[in-house]
Amino acid sequence: PYRIAVFASGSGSNFQALLDSAQSGRLGAQIALLVSDKPQAKAVERARAAGVPVFVFAPKDYESREAYEREILGELQQAKIDLIVLAGYMRLITDVLVEPYAGRMINIHPSLLPSFPGKDAAGQAVEHGVRLSGATVHFVDGGMDTGPIIAQRAVEVTADDTAIELQLRIQEQERLLYPEVVSWFAAGRVKLEGRRVLLF
């Protein structure tokens, strides 16, 4: 089967949606590993409950980003991972992982990129006063939310929205969008040519 690793730092609601979709057979992929930089993350608890192997690490135990990523790379290779799926993994990725997984690493971000990259995207959208925001799934390159875009879903922003309310409505869409996009990968329907995304 097609094997994915999910990276998560937080609550893991996207991870849970992927787990549910794998369980129902719709994902067409096996979640073979959860990687987390936060031992206390709810995502880790969800993985253990679902019997998914977990690799957790504490960044402060390493002298650099590259040092812990080399260790992650070893885990990914051992688990024969086909696709890395970042789901609320709140760290930049270096060439240690970007290069070996070029065209095989994706992220989800709670805005319509290229608007509002980085932290607190929903807060940035409310602050700016946009009428539409949403969720974006994109390939990962070395930048902050800058890689080629695969799919997007729009969410309306109301006049009285708070960042938290908007974030929750965006996450509802993320939970639908991300499993669908992963299923496209598992079916061999996505290719990256340079910075062009081809969908079949």
Q: Is 21 annotated as a binding residue?
A: no
Query: Please, which residue, 1 or 143, has the CB nearer to ligand GAR?
Result: 143
For the bound state, the minimum distance from the C-beta of residue 35 to ligand GAR, rounded and expressed in Å, comes to 13
Q: Write out the binding residues for ligand GAR, residues 108-127 only, by CB under 6 A.
A: 108-110, 121
Query: Please, which residue, 82 or 145, has the CB nearer to ligand GAR?
Result: 145
Is 109 noted as a catalytic residue in this protein?
Answer: yes
Please state, in angstroms and rounded to a whole number, the distance separating the CA atoms of residues 56 and 37: 6
Quick note: the x/- pattern for ligand GAR over 122-161, rule CB under 6 A, is -----------------------x----------------
For the bound state, the minimum distance from the C-beta of residue 178 to ligand GAR, rounded and expressed in Å, comes to 8
Of the listed pieces 4-12, 29-37, 59-67, 181-189, which binds ligand GAR according to CB under 6 A? Answer: 4-12
What SS3 string covers the chain?
Answer: CEEEEEECCCCCHHHHHHHHHHHHCCCCEEEEEEEECCCCCHHHHHHHHHCCCEEECCHHHCCCHHHHHHHHHHHHHHCCCCEEEECCCCCCCCHHHHCCCCCCEEEEECCCCCCCCCCCHHHHHHHHCCCEEEEEEEECCCCCCCCCEEEEEEEECCCCCCHHHHHHHHHHHHHHHHHHHHHHHHCCCEEEECCEEEEC
Q: Is 169 annotated as a binding residue?
A: no
Of the listed pieces 66-74, 105-113, 152-160, 182-190, which binds ligand GAR according to CB under 6 A? Answer: 105-113
Q: Is 107 annotated as a binding residue?
A: yes
Q: Is 11 in the site for ligand GAR (CB under 6 A)?
A: yes
